[in-house]
């Protein structure tokens, strides 16, 4: 159960950009009558955040949000990453250095509000960490060996040690004929792409030199570890709903949200 007193005061920022190679105009994709980014913001508004703001790169996104009562800022188009866009949004919002900011991806219309609270809470409770994130146990061998599923390993205090697209930890004795046949025991962890930041760290993060590991794995969070920052991890038993990267993902999420609406009408 979420501890409300521990999560009060954090801000959710949702970065949204129009340029998506696999799904053009993705933030405005219609999902059961609402733009996707509005659906994401509505989920975030069900969390304990004191404010939810969309950081957009296009006036069309800002206008779509504002027409549905969602706060939105117009940020620069030339940001190379979502964290750069978040940093600009924090400056525009004039957040103090110790403010906690949760980055909710703009393509996660099924994000559980409680997960947002938990990512904020673990950062608030771990002052030695600059960032926080979430993970859940992998229950599929296919996911464990899939390079598109990011894995992580932690220390005894649930601080991230490393993130990788490779199957980690490497199970030395779990292979037969050069490939894994079963999952390691205990189960490995799948990284969930939600982040908490302290606003002061977020303002500095884009200026940190990219690390070789970050470039090799194409995982931006490795920059923080490379430069000695700690990332606290919340372990959740609940697997978040699917995100939207492709037209097939969009069709699936549309169906799931339509089913949610029908179920709500039946109760």
Tokens representing 267 are 């109760």
What digits encode the pLDDT tens for the residues 86-122?
Answer: 999 999 999 999 999 999 999 999 999 999 999 999 9
Whether 7 contacts 48, CB under 8 Å: yes
pTM: 0.91
* Beta strands, E only, 83-206: 100-103, 131-137, 151-154, 160-164, 175-176, 179-180, 189-198
User: Is the pLDDT reported for residue 137 higher than 90?
Assistant: yes
Furthest CA-CA distance within the chain: 58
| pLDDT attached to residue 35 | 95
CATH class of 4-136+190-266: alpha beta
Tokens representing 195 are 């982040």
Residue % of the chain over a pLDDT of 70: 95
| pLDDT attached to residue 22 | 76
| Confidence tier at 7 by pLDDT (50, 70, 90) | low
Report, as an integer, the average pLDDT of 20-29. 85
> What is the DSSP code string of 230-267?
-EEEEE-SSPPPP--SSHHHHHHHHHHHHHHHHHHHH-
Whole-number mean pLDDT of the chain?
90
d(CA 239, CA 2): 17
User: Is the pLDDT reported for residue 1 higher than 70?
Assistant: no
What digits encode the pLDDT tens for the residues 176-221?
Answer: 656 777 888 889 999 999 999 999 999 899 889 999 999 999 999 9
Say which range, 45-54, 84-93, 135-144, 236-245, has the weakest mean pLDDT. 236-245
User: What are the sequence ranges of the domains in the chain?
Assistant: 4-136+190-266
| Confidence tier at 58 by pLDDT (50, 70, 90) | very high
DSSP state of 159: B
| Confidence tier at 8 by pLDDT (50, 70, 90) | low
């Amino acid at each position: 159960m979420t501890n409300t007193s521990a999560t009060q005061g954090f801000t959710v920022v949702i970065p949204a950009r129009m340029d998506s190679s696999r799904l053009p105009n993705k933030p405005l994709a219609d999902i059961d009558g609402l733009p996707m980014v509005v659906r994401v913001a509505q989920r975030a508004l069900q969390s304990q955040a004191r404010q939810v703001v969309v950081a957009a790169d296009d006036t069309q996104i800002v206008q779509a949000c504002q027409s549905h009562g969602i706060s939105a800022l117009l940020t620069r188009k030339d940001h190379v990453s979502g964290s750069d866009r978040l940093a600009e949004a924090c400056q525009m919002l004039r957040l103090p250095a110790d403010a906690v900011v949760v980055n909710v991806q703009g393509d996660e219309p099924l994000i559980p509000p409680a997960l947002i609270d938990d990512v904020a809470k673990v950062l608030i409770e771990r002052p030695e960490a600059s960032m926080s994130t979430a993970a859940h146990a992998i229950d599929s061998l296919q996911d464990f060996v899939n390079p598109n599923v990011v894995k992580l390993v932690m220390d005894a205090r649930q601080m991230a040690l490393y993130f990788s697209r490779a199957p980690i930890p490497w199970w030395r004795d779990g292979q037969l004929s050069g490939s894994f046949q079963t999952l390691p025991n205990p189960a490995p962890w799948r990284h969930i792409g939600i982040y908490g930041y302290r606003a002061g760290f977020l303002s500095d993060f884009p200026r940190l030199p990219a690390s070789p590991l970050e470039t090799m794995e194409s995982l931006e969070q490795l920059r923080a570890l490379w430069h000695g920052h700690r990332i606290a991890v919340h372990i959740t038993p609940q697997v978040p709903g699917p995100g939207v990267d492709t037209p097939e993902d969009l069709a699936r999420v549309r169906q799931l949200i339509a089913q949610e609406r029908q179920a709500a009408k039946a109760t």
